Amino acid sequence: MIWKLLLTAAVILGAYGVIRARIRSDRVARGLEPPRPPLLPPGLMQLAVSAVLALMVLGSALHLYTGWRHAREVVLVQVVNANTGQITAFEVRRGSVEGRRFQTIDGREIRLADVERMIVLPKPRPE
């Protein structure tokens, strides 16, 4: 929640800065104010922009990769019949579980009945 507030504040501050810069450049163009030298050299600004852009692309790629890896993780799904108590176990990729249905690793499509419950567990590692 705090990130939403910080993002909103950053957008407002950015818009304020852009409007203020446009007003100032208009005053300089009319000759009402003398031009000011830039705070940062243009080469350094281009380097900073390139670094931020590269960081954003790298962060996006990392986020996509971790989401893909999480969806490909093999988990153990136990289907429990609430009437009989019978438990049936299946190995499933986490990304193939959708609501009351899933697809097993060997390609079978399983749909749960109303009396069945699903338990998703991490796959036990062999020792």
3-state secondary structure of 107: coil
Q: What pLDDT does residue 93 have?
A: 95
Q: What pLDDT does residue 16 have?
A: 95
State the Cα–Cα distance between residues 69 and 95, nearest whole angstrom: 9
Is the model's pTM score more than 0.85?
no
Q: What pLDDT does residue 35 have?
A: 78
Q: Count CB-CB contacts under 10 A for residue 37.
A: 5
3-state secondary structure of 18: helix
**Closest to 93 (Cα-Cα) out of 85, 82, 84, 104:** 104
Q: What pLDDT does residue 127 have?
A: 65
With a cut of 70, which residues of the chain have pLDDT below it?
A: 127
Q: Could you tell me the two tokens for 10?
A: 């950053």
